[in-house]
Structure 1
Amino acid sequence: MLVVLAGAVTAGAQSLPSLQRQGSAGHLMVNGKPFLVLGGELGNSSASSADYMRPIWKKLRAMHCNTVLAPVYWELIEPVQGKFDFTTVDSLLAGARRHSIKIVFLWFGSWKNSMSCYVPAWVKKDYKTYPRAYDERGLAQEILTPFSADNLRADVDAFRALMKHIREHDEKYQTVIMIQVENEIGILPSARDYHPQATKAFHQPVPTALMQYLQQHKKSLAPALAEAWRKNGSRTSGTWEEVFGKGLATDEMFIAWHFALFANQVALEGKKVYPLPMFVNAALNRPNVKPGGYPSGGPLPHIIDIWKAATPAIDLLSPDFYNPDFIHWNDLYTRPDNALFIPEIRFEPSVSAKVFYALGHYQAIGFSPFSIESTDTPENEPIGKSYQVLTQLMPLLCQHQGKPTLDGVLLDKRSDADTLTFGNYTFIVKHDYTLGWSPGAKEENWPQAGGLIIQTAPNEFIVAGTGIVVSFVSAQPSKGRTGILSIEEGGYREGHWNPGRTMNGDQSHQGRHLRFPVGEYGIQKLSLYQYK
């Protein structure tokens, strides 16, 4: 059953892109059909020049990307207050349509990587009308304060104009499928803003809406937030320090609420014009770094409930990945109220394995390496080989999203095996190097390997990935042992399976396993049976 999430709407007979829920997973609908973002995010400046973009479109197609994540720069679309120039936007729309690629626009508005570097010159120079955030010494930063009504109004006006332009020029095409509101919001170098209006707000009572959310979600709050509230008596009213205690953690909770209110208002006003799905991304904090040492107050897992309470108009909160603990962070962002979308991840070979895990295990709605255009050999990029496989599987993946018939694995030398159970069968999935057949098995570090498994019938499965070897045992030994009935390599064309080789001999080690060697990417159709 599909349940519409907050913010999902339709317009007339033609449905706009929307986020829905299928079982336990989020579901992105585009042109009336489920869609997975096999994307690439452009480097910060690439989208500012049509000439620079011209060869990039072919690179995206060579890597089998179906979506590009592209910035829209406030300073370029509104160089003079109230006068808009959408040349860069129109160029991106034309290029995307020409190459059959969808767009997720990234609104580089008030904040980009916490700084206000893409606001127009007329905002930067008029700092009395458009004030900055202050650090604890009272020094202005090149960061707009979220406590200014003028700052909010200027951002909203520009964003509404952008959404109006997109609606007028793209609604019938649906090239644009989602919008990111701001970029990696956060405060530096202090844990909160010390602008006089911010300090005044800090000493006011915690807003009623947040207190009600805490009480309604008491059993499911993020641990750090729940513990801070409990330690101070689980009060139902009081100032920020009375409710959560004194310290940097409370400072960050406070600024998170106000950043979230600002972003929600921008999204809300934009949706009134053109209600596309909207999300906010987070620059992940590193272990043992205190608030103020990272962009603080963004939609990070330890304060994600504050963002959820403040942002009913925002559909997703998403992680940007530049640290190695992929599983840990995805666990924190995958929640009943938050489908996983990975809009930005370091562009490196391991993403070709991680995307199988993200779409298989977490059933993410999309995946997007950053600065994907930086490659000089797009046809050889591992992520392109994964995307080629996943493009074939998209209808099947979307059909099984949110169901126990879909799962995935991610393996390396430290975690070289995993087990998954589907009905009568347990799959023992190991890193290909555990076989010891490759010279690379002797190396200190192994490349990450990943895969996904779809159960299409009680005894039939589709397995896809790279660098994995899979064997099978009975989940209920009393029913007998498990054997391989057949393995076919092949692919999907227009939703139909096209078999290639039958793999029941040496390729399956005489019926012992299914295998994708490291460096190879593919799809295999598997049939199992039981015997005594």
Structure 2
Amino acid sequence: MIAVVLILLPGLALSAQAGDVPGLPHLAQRHGATQLIVDGQPFLMRAGELENSSASSLPYLETLWPKFEAMHFNSLIAPVYWNLIEPQQGQFDFSTVDGLIEGARAHDMRLVLLWFGSWKNSMSSYVPAWVKRDSRRYPRARRSDGTPMEILSALDQANLQADSVAFVALMKHLKQIDGERHTVVMVQVENEVGMIPEARDHGPLADAAFHAPVPTALTDYLSKHKEILAPGLKAAWRAQGFKTGADWEDTFGAGEQTDELFTAWTEGRYTGEVAAAGKAVYPLPLYVNAALIRPGKRPGEYPSGGPLPHLFDVWRAAAPAVDFLAPDIYFPNFTEWAEKYALPGKPFLIPETGRVSGAQMGANGLYAYAHLNAMGYSPYAPEFLSPDDAKALGQAYDVVEQLTPLILAHQGSGKMVGMLPRTQFDGSVDLSPQTFVFGDYKVTASYRKPGSASIGAKIDADTSTTHGGLIIQTGPNDFWFAGTGITVYFEPPGKGRSAVGIESIREGRFINGQWVPGREMNGDDTNQGRHLSLPDDEFSIRRVTLYHYD
């Protein structure tokens, strides 16, 4: 297989350039943000990711489209399954893929496809039966005691060859049936790659590679990027004298950390070669997603070697055909994890998130689009949300849909921010006010209800509602606010005699791209001009004009 990959990679340098394929979905830098370009225009994904089994039955899937439309989705992230696509080796059946694409077109949605190939949540549960039943030809990873696991070995070329052939067939099929329509805008390669319950494969091929010299492709990359490597990786390599040409333990030291580096390289290399083979025939944007780490867990207690922040350097060296790495955020500390992946100059997408209320999903999404330049956001298993949660998420996505032209125009510009209290892993929420400066104005977002001015209250009252939103500055004195559960105060950015007043606050909606103002809200709704309120338990938009006075 290695020889085949080496033949494909030189061509990849040409064919993987989306600019060579007119109108092909691609990633592009626009005013400081990386955006997804579809049919020549930036596209902001309001998505949901299907539960793992939902796309395996087209009749079942047909019952879901109306739910997604009601929640204002414009895209869907959906699995495609190796075992259903290639039930017999070399015989391909794309009926589930075709039905998924036809359904998306009928409901005016775009698709991101998840390749459930060699690994899904570390395990090889979606490989075809002809692979599962022939472990001699398609060997498994092994635990340190020699026990085989239901995980394909990333060191075996037959495994890589079989996965690559199927993925190439999928990408060729997409090019054939969707190369002009561009319903499919992106593909995820594998799913939550990593090794459990141990930090690395201990099969004979893996042990031989572990005791062989670390590949020069990795050490050359690390040498080139030595000054900006992840601290733990750099420290481990430094402790061994930045050695090259030695085995893994002599290069990085003995222990679980090195075992995990080995897994990141081997599974990253395998995933990257599958990606490169598919991209050579149809260069859609490709990404890999990560299962994150609970505090205190060790490699193998979480999927060891996945595309996690402390392993970014290894994955970038191992899989250059992968365009970006994305987090699946299910932990309460949403902002902390999102910020680790929303790096300057890098594409940012949240393909999976959940385990919070629908309202909190909506608030997190507004923050991701505005503050972190996300090109897409996607709660997991939206088909199973409760009616209240579906309504809340749909209301938030309705606001995003209305504001999409403004969001896309202002991502990366410094004129847009997200408002969201920081939550710790234990669920504790910091409701401290957050302050932002826009030119001549300092804007403070408070997540507590203000006390009544009429009784001289000095301390804001506690509130348990969902909080989150965004601010977009469109002129020196003109702003758009959207969100829920926030009170906003305005003042000059520095000390002086001048003060800031609210000239006007209007509620309203964008209808067919045109702002249709509703009520003027300068009276009791603003406590007689003292602040802006984004009401609890609903997502709304406010247009605000400010002024200075002495």
**TM-score, structure 2 length as denominator?**
0.91
Q: What residue is the counterpart of 2:7 in the other structure?
A: none
Match of 1:420 in 2: 436
Other-structure match for 1:247: 255
Shift of 1:115: 0.3
Matches of 1:37 and 1:189 in 2, distance apart?
A: 34
Q: Matches of residues 54-93 of structure 1 in structure 2 within 5 Å?
A: 54-93=62-101
Q: Deviations over 1:131-154 (max 9, x none)?
A: 100111111100001101110110
Give the CA deviation at 1:68: 0.6
Displacement of 1:11 in angstroms is 6.1
1:238 is matched with which residue?
Answer: 246
Deviations 1:267-301 (A, max 9, x none): 11111111100100000011111111111111011
Partner of 1:381: 391
Write the distance in 1 (CA, Å) between the matches of 2:410 and 2:416: 6
Matches within 5 A, 1:432-447: 432-433=448-449, 435=451, 446-447=464-465
Structure 1 residues 448 and 204, CA, compared in 2 at 3 Å: closer, same or farther? farther
Other-structure match for 1:403: 413
- Secondary structure of the structure 2 residue equivalent to 1:381: helix
Give distance in 2, aligned partners of 1:7 and 1:449.
45
1:33-48 equivalences under 5 Å are: 33-48=41-56
Structure 1 residue 190 and structure 2 residue 198: aligned?
yes
| Whole-Å separation in 1 of the counterparts to 2:67 and 2:141 | 40
Alignment of 1:498-509 (within 5 A): 498-509=516-527
AA aligned to 2:419 is V
Aligned 8 A contact 1:411 1:431 in 2: yes
Secondary structure in structure 1 of the residue aligned to 2:83? helix
Match of 1:367 among 369, 377, 396: 377
Bigger shift: 6-15 or 143-152?
A: 6-15
In structure 2, the CA distance between the partners of 1:86 and 1:311, relative to structure 1 (3 Å rule), is same
- Please list, as runs of the form range in 1=range in 2, the aligned pairs for 1:35-434 lying within 5 A after superposition: 35-346=43-354, 348-349=356-357, 350-375=360-385, 377=387, 380-411=390-421, 413-433=429-449
The yes-or-no answer on 1:514 pairing with 2:524 is no
Letter of the structure 2 residue corresponding to residue 108 of structure 1: F
For 1:514 and 1:110, the matched residues in 2 are separated by 52
Matched, 1:21 2:37: no
DSSP 3-state at the match of 2:547: strand
Report the alpha carbon displacement of residue 432 of structure 1 after superposing the two structures with TM. 4.5
The RMSD of aligned alpha carbons is 2.2
How far off is 1:347 after superposition?
A: 5.0
| Number of aligned residue pairs | 525
Deviation string 1:251-277 (CA, Å, 9 cap, x unpaired) is 000110111111111111111111100
Q: Indicate if the aligned counterparts of 2:526 and 2:532 stay in contact, CA closer than 8 A.
A: yes
Structure 1 position 307, deviation (Å): 0.5
Query: In the superposition, relative to structure 1, how do residues 247 and 447 fare at CA in structure 2: closer, same or farther (>3 Å)?
Result: farther
Tell me, yes or no, if the aligned pair for 1:8 and 1:18 is still in contact at 8 Å: no
Task: Answer whether contact 1:47 1:71 (CA < 8 A) is retained.
Answer: yes
1:481 aligns with 2:489: no
Q: Which range moved further: 22-31 or 181-190?
A: 22-31
Distance 2:15 2:257 in 1: 30
Structure 1 residue 167: Cα displacement: 1.1
Q: What displacement does 1:165 show? A: 1.0
2:467 alignment counterpart: 449
Amino acid at match of 2:144: E
Task: Work out the percentage of aligned pairs sharing the same amino acid.
Answer: 48
Structure 2 CA distance, aligned partners of 1:341 and 1:367? 6
**Does the 8 A contact of 1:419 with 1:426 survive in 2?**
yes
Structure 2 unaligned residues grouped into runs of 5+: 1-12, 423-428, 454-458
> Are the counterparts in 2 of residues 213 and 309 from structure 1 also a CA contact under 8 Å?
yes
Distance 1:445 1:216 in 2: 51
Contact 1:466 1:516 in 2 (8 A): yes
Q: Structure 2 vs 1, CA of residues 461 and 506 (structure 1 numbering), >3 Å: closer, same or farther?
A: same
- Distance in 2 separating the partners of 1:442 and 1:510: 17
Deviation at 1:235, TM superposition (A): 2.9
**Separation in 1, partners of 2:391, 2:443:** 29
User: C-alpha offsets along residues 320-375 of structure 1, whole Å, 9 cap, x if unaligned?
Assistant: 01211111111211223532210001153221110111111111111101111013
> d(CA) in 2 for partners of 1:194 and 1:519?
52
**CA distances 1:20-77 after superposition (whole Å, capped 9, x unpaired):** 1224321111111111111001101000001111110000000001111110000001
Q: 2:420 touches 2:467 (CA, 8 Å); kept in 1?
A: yes
Tell me, in whole angstroms, the C-alpha distance in 1 between the residues paired with 2:475 and 2:378.
31
Q: CA deviation at 1:447?
A: 3.8
Q: What is the alpha-carbon distance in structure 1 between the residues aligned to residue 199 and residue 89 of structure 2?
A: 32
Decide whether aligned partners of structure 1 residues 16 and 407 sit closer, same or farther in structure 2, where only a CA change above 3 A counts.
same
Q: CA deviation at 1:458?
A: 1.3
State the 1:431 CA deviation: 1.1
State the distance in 1 between where 2:451 and 2:187 align.
45
CA distance in 1 between partners of 2:372 and 2:364 (Å): 11
Q: 1:219/1:482 Cα in 2 relative to 1: closer, same or farther (>3 Å)? A: farther
Q: Give 1:404 deviation, angstroms.
A: 0.5
Question: Is residue 18–residue 24 contact of structure 2 (8 Å, CA) maintained in 1?
Answer: yes
Offset of residue 411 of structure 1: 2.1
Q: Secondary structure at the match of 1:395?
A: helix
State whether residues 8 and 277 of structure 1, in contact with CA within 8 Å, keep that contact through their aligned partners in structure 2.
Answer: no
Q: 1:444: Cα distance to partner?
A: 8.7
Q: Deviations over 1:360-416 (max 9, x none)?
A: 111111110111101353795211111000011111111111111111111275234
Contact 2:449 2:462 in 1 (8 A): no
SS in 2 for 1:293: coil
Output the amino acid matched with 2:546: L
Report the CA distance shift for 1:47/1:456 in structure 2 as closer, same or farther (over 3 A). same
